[in-house]
Chains A and B, each alone.
Chain A
């Protein structure tokens, strides 16, 4: 929808620049001094609760993740340790990137029609939309491992197999964003 942006006319004082420049220099200097003081205080172990920067020193320091953040997939298990997945192909069908490959097999349990023989995800194709999680009627696939570093040196290396996905666990609570640290 189009709308009119009303621009305020600059006052005489603002047009003179000088006062505004001094105000701007004051703002930047204040940021500088506050951050410098905090860095100095951190160095001697004070004011640890006040951050001196908004950036994170990534490999050493990680940003807390939102609990609903979609990260690498995992497959959930039944009480007996077998995969919850019944190979219904819902996720494979809904996947917009077509990165899920399921090979079904029959099982003896009369309550479960099928189980996956293989369950592969090509992470090189996955767009992390989370549709597979939404589509799953058995809550068998989740995207809550908290694993973000998915790089590999080959295309084959980007393939994620069922064993890895079954062995994964959810994100530790400590890595999650709590209401207090938000």
Chain B
């Protein structure tokens, strides 16, 4: 077969798996978030939607909500900018999904004699790509505020812009320490390097190499995705955010863009700090224990285990972020800026310094 078509088929397959996985995860996570918040607050949560006589603990509510959002009137404020108003949610959604392209969700896989990475876009500047795309994503939220021609939405958009830009600085500075350790921007390479063992027994995960960086990244990442306690740009219940003037599926797109973005941050944190698809002591050939004992496993099973490990870590981290979301109250805006610029940024700079000194000295 023509190598071009083979390559295209492989890429399409890999992308389809990612898209299906991501949307399933989105579906389940939005359900889990509702149920989790309900249980935390001693409620029961949405449980009325019924499909074929099965309630499935409210799992169908996402379907019902999607249907409702699609059927709802799509209102564009008459004084707003119609084109930008429509563009904004698409931009937000696109940027959220596109960042997933460079996240490796599995190792290099060999199937029918073809060898390929389980990663849609094996870029050697993958990390920069994610950051670039997320920065473009800010435009979606700013445009939403601007095009609505509503002062509340406009202020919400401004808050979104300044918050995301402020925390992107911290996030970038946090990553530098990691780059010093890995010497690469390729996410797949980073994950491969995290498969090595420190002192013969400790997996060299980013969490071990950069423990402070991990927590800084999580905090900045939560702020970046505008989730509670950093949800000032939205603040749907009282301060009102950039999507006041949105209804129907356009609102739904902002909502899911938010969820996908938080999944991207979780996936990125897993890739950078929690060993990506690596399972401790599982090499490409099978289980290799520190003592030297090894146990052969078929290639497909290893790949499956590793993809499963990635999904498991992703869900676990999203879970932790969601628990934090339902625990902490929202920051005040000055507190948010103070936390970002006078607390997280200096710590991340010191982190770079210490990491650099460590690498030069040892």
Q: Is A31 an interface residue (CB 8 A)?
A: yes
State in angstroms the CA–CA spacing of A6 and B347 once bound together. Answer: 33
Interface flag for A27 (CB, 8 Å): yes
- Within 8 Å by CB of A21, from B41, B43, B326, B327, lies B327
Asked if A53 contacts B327 (CB within 8 A), the reply is no
Q: Report the separation of the CA atoms of residues A32 and B36 in the bound assembly, to the nearest whole angstrom.
A: 7
In the complex, per-residue mask of B186-212: 1 if CB is within 8 Å of any chain A CB, else 0: 000000000000000000000000000
Which 4 A-B pairs have CB atoms at the shortest separation, nearest pair first? A24-B327, A35-B39, A28-B327, A54-B42
Check: A174 CB closer than 8 A to any chain B CB: no
Q: Which residue of A lies closest to B229 (CB)?
A: A21
Question: Which A residues touch B39, using CB under 8 A?
Answer: 31-32, 35-36, 39
Would you list 16 pairs from A and B whose C-beta atoms are within 8 A, ordered by A residue? A21-B324, A21-B327, A21-B328, A25-B323, A25-B327, A28-B323, A28-B327, A31-B40, A31-B41, A32-B40, A35-B40, A35-B42, A36-B39, A55-B42, A55-B44, A57-B44
- Chain B residues with CB under 8 A of A53: 38, 42-44
Question: Judging by beta carbons under 8 Å apart, are A28 and B40 in contact?
Answer: yes
Residue ranges of B at the interface with A (Cβ–Cβ < 8 Å): 36, 38-44, 323-324, 326-328
Residues of A in contact, count (CB < 8 Å): 16
* B38 / chain A contacts, CB cutoff of 8 Å: 53
Q: In the bound complex, what is the Cα–Cα distance between A25 and B326 (angstroms)?
A: 8
CB distance from A95 to the nearest CB of B (A): 39
Chain A residue nearest to B329 in the complex (CB): A24
Kindly state whether residue A164 has any CB partner on chain B within 8 Å: no
Measured between alpha carbons, how far is A111 from B64 in the docked complex, in Å? 65
Residues of A within 8 A of B41 (CB): 31
CA distance A143 to B327 in the complex (A): 43
8 A Cβ contacts from A45-91 to B: 52-55, 57
Interface assignment of A178: CB less than 8 Å from any CB of chain B:
no
Distance in Å from the Cβ of A78 to the closest Cβ of chain B? 47
| B339 CB, min distance to chain A CBs, angstroms | 9
Chain B residues, CB < 8 A from A36: 39
In the assembled complex, the CB of B38 is this many whole angstroms from the nearest CB of chain A, namely: 8
What are the residues of chain B within 8 A of A25 when measuring CB–CB?
323-324, 327
Taking the closest CB of chain B, its distance from the CB of A82, in whole angstroms, is 47
CA gap between A98 and B43 in the complex, in Å: 40
A29 contacts partner chain B, Cβ-Cβ < 8 Å: yes
Interchain nearest-CB distance for A51 vs B (Å): 9
Shortest Cβ gap from A14 to chain B (Å): 14
